[in-house]
């Protein structure tokens, strides 16, 4: 059974701090790992990672994948209150082309002013 585990489950920081969110996985036939940010409504897509060691960046957010150790991290530098959200990690695995994802539990990030 495919499994995705995120840590920590929740995190409280102050504006300006740097945070690192973790995602480890055990899946058959890994294809890609995705990060989503969920605020009050639906998750929105952040990154898709398929190759080991290549960092994806978008502003203050960055992510990297380690396919040997089966994990990914999401870094947020100089956090702002608007970064408060649930961050979801998902893994696509198997031979299907249907885009079926297995999600982790999510990390609830709270950024205080």
**In this chain, which of 105, 110, 111, 112 binds other proteins, going by CB under 8 A?**
105
**Region of 11-19, 35-43, 65-73, 74-82 interacting with other proteins (CB under 8 A):** 35-43
| 28: contact with other proteins by CB under 8 A | no
Closest distance to other proteins from the beta carbon of 62 (Å): 18
Decide: is 56 part of the binding site for other proteins (CB under 8 A): no
3-state SS, one letter per residue, for the chain:
CCEEEEECCEEEEECCCCEEEEEEEECCCEEEEEEEEECCCCEEEEEEECCCCCCEEECCEEEEEECCCCEEEEEECCCCHHHCEEEEEEEEECCCCCCCEEECCCEEEEEEC
Which residues of the chain form contacts with other proteins (CB under 8 A)? 4, 6, 9, 31-32, 34, 41-45, 48, 88, 90, 92, 97-106
């Amino acid at each position: 059974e495919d499994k995705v585990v995120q840590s920590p489950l929740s995190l409280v920081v102050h504006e300006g701090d740097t945070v690192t969110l973790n995602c480890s996985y055990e899946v058959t036939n890994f294809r890609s790992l995705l990060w989503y940010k969920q605020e009050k409504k639906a998750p929105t897509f952040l990154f898709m990672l398929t190759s080991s060691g290549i960092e994806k960046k978008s502003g203050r957010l960055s992510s990297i994948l380690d396919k040997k150790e089966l994990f990914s991290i999401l870094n947020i530098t100089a956090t702002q209150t608007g970064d408060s959200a649930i961050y979801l990690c998902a893994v696509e695995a198997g031979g299907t082309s249907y885009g079926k994802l297995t999600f982790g539990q999510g990390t609830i990030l709270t950024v205080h002013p």
